[in-house]
Amino acid sequence: MRYPISFSPLLDSLSASKDHSAFSTECDVSCHRPRHKDCEIKATRVLSRPITRQEHIMTDPAEHLLDWLRDAHAMEQQAEQMLRAQSGRLEHYPELKARIDQHLEETLGQQKIVAECIERLGGSTSIVKDLTAKMMAFGQAAGGMTQTDEVVKGANMSYVFENLEIASYTSLIAAAERCGDAQTKAACERILPQEQAMAQWLLEHIPLITTQYLDRSAAGQEAKK
Ligand SMILES: [Fe+2]
């Protein structure tokens, strides 16, 4: 839906405004933090409606940290779905299947660790955002592929996904440090090596997976899974 006014003056005024002394009860755009009352007043005056999540300008580092933790939690839920789908389909690549199953177990532990961080900071894990939705689409594509070369494409996409996770936790560690949140920092530092190990394993094994696929295919055997 388009509104007859440009958002940019509104957004400029919101980002310029740093007076957080006046809060309403809670932001209804799902960040579960007190809404900046000044933003709400300006938004309501210009738009004649409550501000949306996208229009709500976050300035508090702790608010960003919580937001990114929720992204990470949704990312891990998507990772679980992707890994389960891949493991469930693989038949002729036992080493890959075993490594996926190992990382699935790790992923379930990561979900729990991230959820505990979110809850400790007063947030909720039930919120799905635009970025998360895009990530979910990616994960669903990677997990649900049924092309003739799905094992190769799946391994490649898993490598990409693991690197997204590595970037996310690297960012979260920096954010937690900036916020003085030692517990969240330690939690993310426990998760990060698991993602790095999985990415490294995939990178090292993609050549073997590829040649195994080509050999089976050339021999007229089922090769894709
Ligand atoms: Fe993960």
The model's pLDDT over 168-209, given as tens digits with 9 standing for 90+, comes to 999 999 999 999 999 999 999 999 999 999 999 999 999 999
Kindly state whether residue 224 falls inside one of the protein's structural domains: no
How many A from CA of 195 to the centre of ligand 1?
A: 6
Ion ligand 1 neighbours (CB, 5 A) are: 79, 107, 110, 165
| 44 CA to centre of ligand 1 in angstroms | 39
Of 60, 52, 49, nearest to 20 (Cα)? Answer: 60
The answer on 37 and 7 residing in a single domain is yes
- Distance from the alpha carbon of residue 185 to the mean position of ligand 1, in angstroms: 16
Picking from 59, 76, 102, the residue at the C-terminal end of a domain is 59
CA gap 169, 195 in Å, rounded: 9
Using alpha carbons, select from 37, 47, 43 the residue that is nearest to residue 3: 47
Q: Give the distance (Å) from ligand 1 centre to CA of residue 141.
A: 17
Q: Is 89 helix (H, G, I), strand (E, B) or coil?
A: helix
Whether residues 42 and 150 fall in one domain: no
Q: Are residues 51 and 69 in the same domain?
A: no
Mean pLDDT value across the chain: 79
**Cα-based distances in Å from 24 to 39, 40, 67, 95, 214:** 10, 9, 19, 55, 62
Each residue of 108-157: pLDDT tens digit? 999 999 999 999 998 887 766 655 666 666 666 666 666 788 999 999 99
Taking residue 14's Cβ as centre, other Cβ atoms within 10 Å add up to 21
Same domain as 110, residue 67: yes
Residue 223 included in any domain: no
pLDDT score of 19 more than 60: no
Give the CATH number for residue 138: 1.20.1260.10
User: How close is the Cα of 9 to the center of ligand 1, in Å?
Assistant: 39
Provide the residue range defining the domain that includes 122: 61-218
Q: Which of 143, 151, 34, 154 is nearest to 79 (CA)?
A: 143
Q: Which residues pair with 174 in a beta bridge?
A: none
Q: How many CA atoms lie within 13 A of 63 on its CB side?
A: 17
- What is the per-residue pLDDT across 38-51, written as a single tens digit (0 to 9) for each? 444 444 444 566 66
**Residue 109 falls inside a structural domain:** yes
Q: Are residues 33 and 44 in the same domain?
A: yes
Q: What are phi and psi of 6, to 5 degrees?
A: -80, 145
pLDDT at 6 over 70: no
**What's the structural domain count of the chain?**
2
